[in-house]
């Protein structure tokens, strides 16, 4: 099979014996040597194709990158062309490092620019994350140990990659080493250029603060590597883990109990993630040295939210809920009416708190034979089956490490003496419903203890009595 790379071709698939596209007439074999076989990717300025090299008897496979740009904006086009040519220069300059794809050719064909690179067989780290789930600490140590020398290599040659992320790191199948790809936006730097503001290029969720202002620095790559690591550890999109109130990463809030992170690795990642350049590691070599230096003792790092709760004076009254957290980890999901808890469990496991809150509402409605989205009154709370109420509570407790849950809310309500305004103040709710109720709740892990599940599902004339009614129902069911 041959694949036509002509821009705008509506039927690009051809037989592998064809020399010209049967549909648009574009020459299929580039430079009389490279035959594109199928598309494998597309970015902002280019398309990537799997191809074969017809000049070598074994017809080895390779990767072809094509500049694909149709904008009439000449300045933007010239910038895209410059970046594309820059990639060829960088790859040639970086030579044949075993963890950087080899540049095989760079040419212009039919007024289009092309790069030909070595094919790296394997999955990107992003693909592996989707297939296997969150990375373990051992996998992150291995990634750092094997990728930092590559960053050291390119930085010593005055190159900043500027787009370190899971999609640009391939786990090579042959030797299981990480291979760094896509140098299309790499930037040659010098001591004078470091202070110059340039085009803002990169992936925003992985980008260092100075890079968002157009000023890339070698430590910008280290910052992006740190973001990559916490994304792989938690499986949570990076921007969902950034606390804009504290202006820092709250990634520890998203570490699952079954996948703990040591204090030692946490310290290294936190230093990689520092917003100020001066507070980060200054080189890849410095990170490697820190990894080799063993502290006097190490300990398992609890999720940050769990640690805060254990030491906070507020939470001495939540010991009952904490006891329930221990059992919730091992309790089977049960339902009186066979309710399916799969979606709720998936949302909670991925820390998609708003989705989990909405699914909780749906389950509550289902358990009292109401339609999804209908409000529940205090009389409905009294009808909730204990099995379902306890299952909802245990799932929230388990996946928030005791930070959220109905039993947490009930313990706080009892602690403030059944005082609803004080209860709302403690868990960060408005006492009275605002016009837009959704805006009253924060669906983030750093919300106050007991903030979720929300009360969006509560209705009725005396809706504010739901906290007391729910606490009494939980007590009746054998809870707090």
End-to-end CA distance of the chain: 67
Q: Where are the alpha helices (DSSP H) in 368-477?
A: 378-383, 386-399, 406-415, 420-427, 466-476
- The H helix count followed by the E strand count for the chain is 16, 16
Q: What are phi and psi of 473, to 5 degrees?
A: -65, -45
Report the distance separating Cα 113 and Cα 78, nearest Å: 12
Contacts of residue 137, defined as CB under 8 A and 6 or more positions apart, other chains included, come to 233, 259, 260, 261, 262, 265
Q: How is residue 456 written in tokens?
A: 């969006």
Whether the ω angle into residue 283 lies within 30 degrees of 0, i.e. cis, is no
Sole residue written with tokens 């890079």 = 211
Q: Which residues does the annotation mark as catalytic? A: 163
Q: How is residue 39 written in tokens?
A: 């598309």
Report the distance separating Cα 201 and Cα 165, nearest Å: 13
Residue 67: strand pairing partners: 46
DSSP SS3 for 20 = strand
> What's the CA angle centered on 318, arms 314 and 321, to 5 degrees?
155
Residue 20: strand pairing partners: 27
DSSP SS3 for 4 = coil
């Amino acid at each position: 099979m041959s694949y036509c790379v002509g821009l705008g071709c509506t039927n690009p698939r051809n037989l592998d014996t064809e020399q010209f596209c049967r549909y648009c007439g574009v020459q299929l074999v580039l430079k009389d040597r490279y035959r594109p076989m199928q598309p494998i990717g597309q970015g902002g300025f280019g398309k990537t194709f799997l191809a074969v090299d017809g000049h070598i008897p074994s017809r080895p496979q390779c990767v072809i990158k094509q500049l694909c740009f149709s904008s009439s904006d000449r300045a933007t086009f010239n910038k895209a062309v410059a970046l594309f040519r820059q990639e060829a220069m960088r790859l040639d300059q970086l030579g044949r490092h075993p963890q950087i794809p080899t540049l095989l050719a760079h040419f212009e064909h039919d007024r289009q620019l092309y790069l030909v690179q070595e094919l790296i067989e394997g999955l990107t780290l992003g693909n592996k994350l989707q297939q296997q789930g969150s990375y373990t600490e051992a996998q992150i140590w291995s990634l750092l140990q094997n990728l930092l020398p590559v960053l050291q290599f390119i930085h010593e040659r005055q190159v900043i990659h500027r787009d370190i992320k899971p999609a640009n790191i391939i786990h090579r199948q042959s030797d299981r080493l990480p291979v760094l790809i896509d140098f299309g936006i790499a930037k040659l730097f010098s001591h004078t250029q470091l202070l110059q503001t340039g085009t803002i290029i990169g992936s925003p969720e992985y980008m260092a603060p100075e890079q968002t202002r157009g000023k890339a620095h070698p430590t910008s790559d280290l910052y992006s590597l740190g973001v990559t690591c916490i994304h792989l550890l938690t499986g949570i999109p990076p921007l969902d883990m950034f606390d804009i109130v504290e202006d820092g990463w709250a990634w520890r809030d998203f570490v699952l109990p079954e996948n703990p992170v040591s204090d030692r690795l946490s310290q290294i990642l936190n230093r990689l993630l520092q917003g100020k350049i001066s507070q980060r590691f200054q080189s890849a070599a410095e990170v490697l040295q820190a990894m080799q230096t063993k502290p006097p003792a190490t300990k398992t790092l609890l999720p940050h939210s769990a640690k805060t709760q254990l030491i906070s004076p507020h939470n001495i009254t939540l010991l009952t809920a904490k006891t329930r957290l221990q059992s919730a980890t091992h309790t089977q999901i049960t339902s009186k009416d066979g309710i399916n808890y799969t979606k709720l469990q998936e949302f909670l496991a991925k820390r998609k708190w708003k989705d989990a809150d909405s699914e909780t509402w749906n389950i509550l409605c289902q358990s009292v034979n109401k339609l999804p989205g209908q409000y529940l009154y205090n009389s409905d709370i009294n009808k909730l089956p204990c099995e379902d109420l306890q299952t909802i509570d245990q799932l929230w407790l388990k996946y928030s490490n005791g930070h959220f849950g109905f039993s947490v809310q009930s313990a706080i309500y009892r602690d403030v003496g059944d005082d609803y305004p004080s209860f709302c103040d403690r868990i960060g709710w408005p006492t009275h419903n605002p016009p837009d109720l959704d805006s009253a709740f924060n669906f983030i892990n750093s919300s106050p203890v007991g903030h979720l599940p929300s009360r969006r599902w509560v209705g009725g004339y005396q809706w504010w009595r739901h906290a007391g009614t729910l606490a009494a129902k939980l007590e009746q069911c054998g809870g707090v």
